[in-house]
Structure 1
Amino acid sequence: MLATLMQTLDSTIANVALPHMQGALAASQDEIVWVLTSYIVAAAIATPLTGWFTDRLGLKRLLVVSIAGFTMASGLCGISASLQQIVLSRVLQGVFGAALVPLAQSILLDINPREKQGQAMSVWGMGVMIGPIIGPTLGGWLTDSYNWRWVFFINLPVGLLALAGILVSLPARDDRQKRSFDFVGFITLGVAIGAFQAMLDRGDQLDWFGSLEIRIEAVIAAIAFAFFIVHTATAGPRSFFRYQLLWDRNFATGIGFIFVIGAVLYATRALIPPMLQNLMNYPVATTGLVTAPGGLGTMIAMLIAGRLVGKVDLRLSLLCGFAVSAFSLWQMTQYTIVLARSDIVWPGLIQGFGLGLVFVPLSAASFSTLTPELRADGTAIYSLMRNLGSSIGISVVQSIVSRNTQVSHAALAEHVTAFNPLLRQQFDVSSQASMATLDAIITQQASMIAHIDAFKLMLFATLAVIPLLALIRPTHQHVAGEIAHVALD
């Protein structure tokens, strides 16, 4: 669980420190986002390798290597002196950290008897969901009290403690298997994900398809993904991707839902801290504090969801969770440039509660019908889809904010003329300093409009997936009941 929390925490802990990194590393607003997306993309590409590496190295050996590598990469992030160095270090973090979450899930399923697996998954789910939510709070405190480098140095004692715990407590076993590696499948999927993410990250900066680079990246992503699909369909058992997973309707639907959850959760957490700091002049520590209650909502909801699983239809719990999450996003679309702290706290708390209601029953429904031999690959693909959703969600909302700020600025400026009597009462239209102040006000309002547009998109995405709940098959009572035994002590 320490390894799980460390990996998921690092996906958002740097969010509130981005403005400080931007100044220290001499990066633009578009470039500094690479600190977030490089980590998530690297983890997304490396996650499907978990099953193969588990067979080749054994579960304990792979976990030891992953924790050690992740801890080392965290130290490299903390001592980075340029944008290129920190992005490369974050890529290493993502590669080594990719296996931590699926391995933790697989281990908890293996070391617990069937009647305890529901309890184990609830505890594991808390680590997965709470990490991204408390990340901004911890990152804000570390940045304010020390500096931004400590958001990475904090991993060193945690990683060493997790490594020592695994070496001492996890039984050694020779569970290695000979399994051929599908280089074609891995390379085509990796190229497709990498090119697509590069297109998303650079698109706004290069005017999207007006740029030759973006068109090339889009073509590479499309061709690579097409090759991956064809290869997967024809390679049979040698395929890198176990396409048998998609024959399970619950699992196939579950990965679609976790993609949306990843996009909404991570994009919201990446969007709000810069909004509070840049538009409303919130101190970094205060930003972390007002975004923290989402974690409390998630914990409460997971305890409730654990009690409900096995007693009510999983689809009803999922419906309630998505509805609550949608309501919180609707609240965010009502934001203005003047917000009380409670206006930030309550929507975050409600969103955390809604996502907590979704996560436990979604995990139960997704894995309840999978055969044990598909479990390792299933957990890897499940984490992959969450990471992909996160990466795409962050890039899309950042692009929307950047582009719509310019569009809204132009629309607002059309109504600002020297002949407006209200304007002449408030500003000296002949003074350059006064006009510069007016332009800053218009930019601030335009940016707020752009943020609201991003919240609206996430709201529509959440509402759009609700009808897909009908695709989930009801889980048998005795299987669902395993999730209901949640430890309250």
Structure 2
Amino acid sequence: MLATLMQALDTTIANVALPDMQGALSATQDQAAWVLTSYIVAAAILTPVTGWLAGRLGRRRLLIVAVSGFTAASLLCGIATGIGQMVLFRILQGVFGASLVPISQSLLLDAFPREKHGAAMAMWGMGIMVGPILGPPLGGYLTQYYSWHWVFLINLPVGILALVGIAASVKPEAPHRRPLDGTGLALLALGIGGLQLFLDRGQSQDWFGSLEIQVEAAFAFLALYLYGLWWWNRRDRALLDLGLLGNRNFAVGCVLIFVVGIVLFATLALLPPYLSALMHYPVLTIGLVLAPRGVGTMFAMMLVGRMLGRVDARIPILAGMGLIVYSLYGMAGFGTEASVQAVVWLGVAQGVGLGLVFVPISTVAYSTLPPWQRTEAASIFSLVRNIGSSVGISIVFTLLARAGQVNHAEIGARIPAYGAEQTLVPALWNPATATGAALLDGELLRQSAAIGYANDFWLMTVLTLCAMPLVLLMHSGRHGPAPGPGMAAEAH
């Protein structure tokens, strides 16, 4: 859980400190954006290799190498003196961090009997879900009261403690050596790397109006298509076994975790700028207002961990998705004014919903898979969730930017000329004066942005509603079949 928390925290904690880093490292805004992009892309490319590395090194050794490397890379990020160094060390963080989530998840599933998988996933899930939620407020606090360096240096005690725990509790296992599928690795690296760059940089580069984005999209589509053909022709030796998606529970779990990734990270990305730009909240206040969401997630995970095995796992998943729909519907009605109570209450409701959803999905998705497939399955599961987060953030910010432009033009065209209908416009906003025109334009921008935020929350509401019927396709998770000796022989 500590290893997972450390990796999950770093997906969002650096966002708040980015302006300070940009000034301290003498970087342009585009260069500073690579501090976030490089980490995401490196982690995405290396995630599919986790299964092969675990077989080659053994999961215990791989986990120790990954935690040690991630902690050392965090130290290097904290003492970086230039933007080039920072991007390089963030790539190293992504390389070592890619294995942390799937390896820790598969180890936990093997460490506990099947009837305790729900409780184990609840504890582990606190790291993966609460980490991104706590990232922005913790990053804001450290940046404001200390410096941006501590956004990375805070990983040192966590990493050291995790290493001590792993060395003391995780048992070594014999590696299962298999040849590296170099062609498959190259195709997946090009495809996933191109897809992540396409999603992360699309909005800033004007999407398909940019040659860079066109090239990244072409590489992503072609490489992933070729990997599909490559896997089909050599299924038993391919780097990543796409045949796992033939398992109904696992396939539906991947679709649902994709939606959860969109909602979790897109909402986290939207609320801070909304509260800052439209509500004028300071950074620390934003962190305090959003923090109860993480408390709701932890409470729900502890609750659902005790429920699983006793109730049909689909019940908490549907209840959680219902709470997510309720919270997103409420956020779509924020407009230009939202009370602190509404922001906190809807955040708690969404946090509880995400907690109720994540643990059962993570448990049921693996319930019908034999143990030897869990590490590779966890790699696909983590990759799908990460791609979901990238897709969600790209879509909502693209729609927000374009809605702002369209709404500004539409509303502006309907403002009457100052004169005969001047009672419709406050005297202070007289467009005939420079000050009045500036104030009027500022209000137009504010109202246009509010409509854009509402549209984004509406879109996520509809997406979650559309995904709810898929839950009924899953096995309940109470009586997952245990693997038989035939399966064990097949693994060898």
- TM-score, normalisation: structure 1: 0.91
Instruction: Give 1:437's aligned amino acid.
Output: L
Residue 127 of structure 1 is matched in structure 2 by 127
Give, in angstroms, the shift of residue 459 of structure 1: 1.4
- Cα deviation per residue 1:416-442 (whole Å; 9 max; x = unaligned)? 343450336222434323322332222
C-alpha RMSD of matched pairs (Å): 2.3
Give, in angstroms, the shift of residue 397 of structure 1: 1.6
Structure 1 residues 230 and 335: alpha-carbon distance in aligned structure 2, compared to 1, 3 A threshold: same
Say if 2:69 and 2:93, in contact at 8 Å, map to a contact too: yes
In the aligned structure 1, how far is the partner of 2:82 from the partner of 2:439? 33
- What is the correspondence of 1:70-81 to structure 2 with a 5 Å cutoff? 70-81=70-81
In the aligned structure 2, how far is the partner of 1:26 from the partner of 1:451? 32
In the aligned structure 2, how far is the partner of 1:33 from the partner of 1:327? 33
In the aligned structure 2, how far is the partner of 1:18 from the partner of 1:401? 21
Give, in angstroms, the shift of residue 85 of structure 1: 4.2
Residue 483 of structure 1 is matched in structure 2 by none
Residue 381 of structure 1 is matched in structure 2 by 380
Say if 2:399 and 2:456, in contact at 8 Å, map to a contact too: yes
In the aligned structure 2, how far is the partner of 1:332 from the partner of 1:401? 15
Residue 305 of structure 1 is matched in structure 2 by 304
In the aligned structure 2, how far is the partner of 1:146 from the partner of 1:477? 51
Instruction: Give 2:163's aligned amino acid.
Output: L
Say if 1:40 and 1:388, in contact at 8 Å, map to a contact too: no
Instruction: Give 1:409's aligned amino acid.
Output: H
Residue 431 of structure 2 is matched in structure 1 by 429
Give, in angstroms, the shift of residue 316 of structure 1: 2.2
Structure 1 residues 28 and 200: alpha-carbon distance in aligned structure 2, compared to 1, 3 A threshold: farther
In the aligned structure 1, how far is the partner of 2:35 from the partner of 2:198? 16
Q: Which of 186-195 and 95-104 deviates more?
A: 186-195
Give, in angstroms, the shift of residue 23 of structure 1: 5.2
Q: Which of 140-149 and 262-271 deviates more?
A: 140-149
Residue 457 of structure 1 is matched in structure 2 by 459
Say if 1:321 and 1:353, in contact at 8 Å, map to a contact too: yes
- Cα deviation per residue 1:154-212 (whole Å; 9 max; x = unaligned)? 112211222233234434x3521211111221221221122222222333333322333
In the aligned structure 1, how far is the partner of 2:81 from the partner of 2:404? 31
Structure 1 residues 310 and 58: alpha-carbon distance in aligned structure 2, compared to 1, 3 A threshold: closer
Matched, 1:167 2:167: yes
Q: What secondary structure, in the 3-state scheme, does the structure 1 residue paired with 2:120 have?
A: helix
Q: Which of 250-259 and 20-29 deviates more?
A: 20-29
In the aligned structure 2, how far is the partner of 1:318 from the partner of 1:469? 7
- Cα deviation per residue 1:450-476 (whole Å; 9 max; x = unaligned)? 222221221121111112123212334
In the aligned structure 2, how far is the partner of 1:195 from the partner of 1:202? 10
| Higher RCO (CA 8 Å, separation ≥ 6 residues) | 1
- Cα deviation per residue 1:345-374 (whole Å; 9 max; x = unaligned)? 111110110011111211221011001111
Give, in angstroms, the shift of residue 323 of structure 1: 1.0
Give, in angstroms, the shift of residue 100 of structure 1: 0.8
In the aligned structure 2, how far is the partner of 1:224 from the partner of 1:458? 29
- What is the correspondence of 1:54-73 to structure 2 with a 5 Å cutoff? 54-73=54-73
In the aligned structure 2, how far is the partner of 1:184 from the partner of 1:325? 41
- What is the correspondence of 1:105-116 to structure 2 with a 5 Å cutoff? 105-116=105-116
Q: Could you list the runs of 5+ residues in structure 2 that have no partner in the other structure?
A: 483-492
In the aligned structure 2, how far is the partner of 1:99 from the partner of 1:115? 26
Identity among equivalent positions (%) equals 50
Q: Could you list the runs of 5+ residues in structure 1 that have no partner in the other structure?
A: 481-489
Residue 288 of structure 2 is matched in structure 1 by 289
Residue 469 of structure 1 is matched in structure 2 by 471
Q: What secondary structure, in the 3-state scheme, does the structure 1 residue paired with 2:239 have?
A: coil
In the aligned structure 1, how far is the partner of 2:36 from the partner of 2:209? 26
In the aligned structure 1, how far is the partner of 2:26 from the partner of 2:456? 27
Instruction: Give 1:317's aligned amino acid.
Output: P
In the aligned structure 2, how far is the partner of 1:325 from the partner of 1:128? 18
Give, in angstroms, the shift of residue 113 of structure 1: 4.0
Structure 1 residues 478 and 170: alpha-carbon distance in aligned structure 2, compared to 1, 3 A threshold: closer
Q: What secondary structure, in the 3-state scheme, does the structure 1 residue paired with 2:236 have?
A: helix
Q: Which of 334-343 and 24-33 deviates more?
A: 24-33
Say if 2:313 and 2:478, in contact at 8 Å, map to a contact too: no
Q: What secondary structure, in the 3-state scheme, does the structure 2 residue paired with 1:192 have?
A: helix
Matched, 1:12 2:32: no
Residue 149 of structure 1 is matched in structure 2 by 149
- Cα deviation per residue 1:299-318 (whole Å; 9 max; x = unaligned)? 22122222332333222221
In the aligned structure 2, how far is the partner of 1:84 from the partner of 1:418? 53
Matched, 1:226 2:239: no
Residue 207 of structure 1 is matched in structure 2 by 206
